[in-house]
Amino acid sequence: MSNFEKVSPPANGQRITIENGELKIPDNPIIPFIRGDGIGIDIWPATQIVLDAAVEKAYGGKRKIAWMKTYCGDEAVEHYGEGVYLPEDTLNAIREYIIAIKGPLTTPVGGGHRSLNVSLRQILDLYACVRPVRYFKGVPSPAIHPERMDIIIFRENTEDVYSGVEWQQGTEEVKKVIDFINNVMGKNVRLDSGIGIKPISITGSKQLVRKAIKYAIAEGRKSVTFMHKGNIMKYTEGAFKDWGFEVATQEFRDYIITEAELWDETRAEDGVTPITKPGAFAQLRNGKPAGDPGERIIVKDRIADSMFQQIQTRADEYDVVCTPNLNGDFISDAAAAQVGGLGMAPGANIGDYIGLFEATHGTAPKYAGQDKVNPGSLMLSGVMMLNYMEWREAGKMIEDAIEATIAKKTVTYDLHRQMEGATKVSCSGYANEIIKNMQ
């Protein structure tokens, strides 16, 4: 019997399963997709044909994604009826098939509706928002050396000031909260305040850090940086950093070295910062050859405000960045702007196993249905999805083809308006060019 009310899985596909703690991907995995609202109508089909073409080409037809259409946002209302923006069918499909991809979703207007994106993350416990930020040659950028940026941000996705624990100024509820804070806890909050609570837990922090360090190990990354504002918010952001170092030193001791340890070993000689000091690793490895500095991952922390100038002035000293929710929101957009903007920034929401891959921009309603916007963000999210499935050959093929297409100056309107001598193509035209440039 089907678990679904109004959707059905494709007959030609198989389920992704979990075996011994690892994802097992069949050659024809069922992958649910949500088209998305607004420009989702344009960027999803463009993305789908590019993903299919790359998989076909990379594996000579041996592998093929069996797409399963699911509904969320405006399309869900059309299919399931008024007020049903996030049907159980969609949640069940993502739970059952583990890997899914989505276009942008409108936050329904009017009281009582939470952002659908936030709901999906919280209901499915997708606690890590993962956003790689790298430069594609030829993309117009405000930075002098945009190519120095190649970071991947792990943003905590379920708590912090996003957890929705807040009270509006002037309400009976907020009066009770302020009364408690002032009279029971002995603090002094202004009586005409609104209040928001910032919970940061051991559970939320450690599970994120664990994921970030595992990723750094698997991908041969050089460092993991905890970005926090712990100098001011000691028991939330500061605790996040402390718990991060606990995970690093207690669970990954053989793989990591903290910046402080590295510093202790090297600074006595000349005061050169340990990260740039040549040979620092060789010294630490008991005279073994220096080898690749990525042999052990440097774990360090930076105060959030300093991190914003660091990514501009020394972007190449950062690699995996691991941070609470609000910092992660800000730094993701700031970093993306440095390499050419949100139109090219992919993202994923990941839990213990489930991966929901998504465009990071919104629905840009004024462009919806015009076959005009840049599908790059969703396509690169698709690349992340292929890499998550270990279908890396197909992922690489798309990345290279996007780079080749931009190098030929064949681009959508957003990049065209910033590039001299470029040829402007439609959203679907861009997808076709990318397919042509696949090797």
| Catalytic site includes residue 319 | no
Q: How far is the CB of 83 from ligand NAP (least distance, A)?
A: 17
Nearer to ligand NAP, 343 or 355 (CB): 343
Q: Is 162 a catalytic residue?
A: yes
Catalytic residue check, 292: no
> What is the distance, to the nearest Å, from the Cα of residue 252 to the centroid of all Cα atoms in its chain?
23
Q: How many binding residues for ligand NAP (CB under 6 A)?
A: 17
Catalytic hit among 292, 305, 316, 352: 305
Q: Which of residues 110-129 bind ligand NAP (CB under 6 A)?
A: 117
Residue 146 beta carbon to ligand NAP: minimum distance, rounded to whole angstroms? 18
Ranges within 369-398 binding ligand NAP (CB under 6 A): 373-374, 377
User: Is residue 207 part of the contact set for ligand NAP (CB under 6 A)?
Assistant: no
Task: List b or e across 283-314, with b for residues whose CB sees 16 or more CB atoms inside 10 angstroms.
Answer: ebeeeeeeeebbbbbbbbbbbbeebbebbbee
Of these residues, 74, 329, 371, 414, which one is catalytic? 329
Residue (317 or 414) nearer to ligand NAP, CB: 414
- Please identify, among the stretches 9-17, 99-107, 141-149, 379-387, the one whose residues bind ligand NAP according to the rule CB under 6 A: 99-107
Closest distance between ligand NAP and the C-beta of residue 397, in Å? 21
Catalytic residue among 102, 211, 222, 229: 229
- Of 9, 87, 104, 274, the one binding ligand NAP (CB under 6 A) is 104
Per CB under 6 A, 363 contacts ligand NAP: yes
Rule CB under 6 A: is residue 107 a binding residue for ligand NAP? Answer: yes
For residue 325, state whether it binds ligand NAP (rule: CB under 6 A): no
Q: At what angle do helices 239-251 and 202-218 cross, to 10 degrees?
A: 50
Residue nearest to ligand NAP (CB): 362
Q: Using the rule CB under 6 A, is 131 a contact of ligand NAP? A: no
The distance of closest approach from Cβ of residue 121 to ligand NAP in the complex, given in angstroms and rounded to an integer, is 10
> Judged by CB under 6 A, does residue 274 bind ligand NAP?
no
Among 106, 207, 223, 327, binds ligand NAP (CB under 6 A): 106
Question: Cα separation of 229 and 211, whole Å?
Answer: 21
- Residues near ligand NAP (CB under 6 A) are 39, 43, 104-107, 117, 343, 358, 361-364, 373-374, 377, 414
Q: Which sequence positions are flagged as catalytic?
A: 162, 229, 305, 329
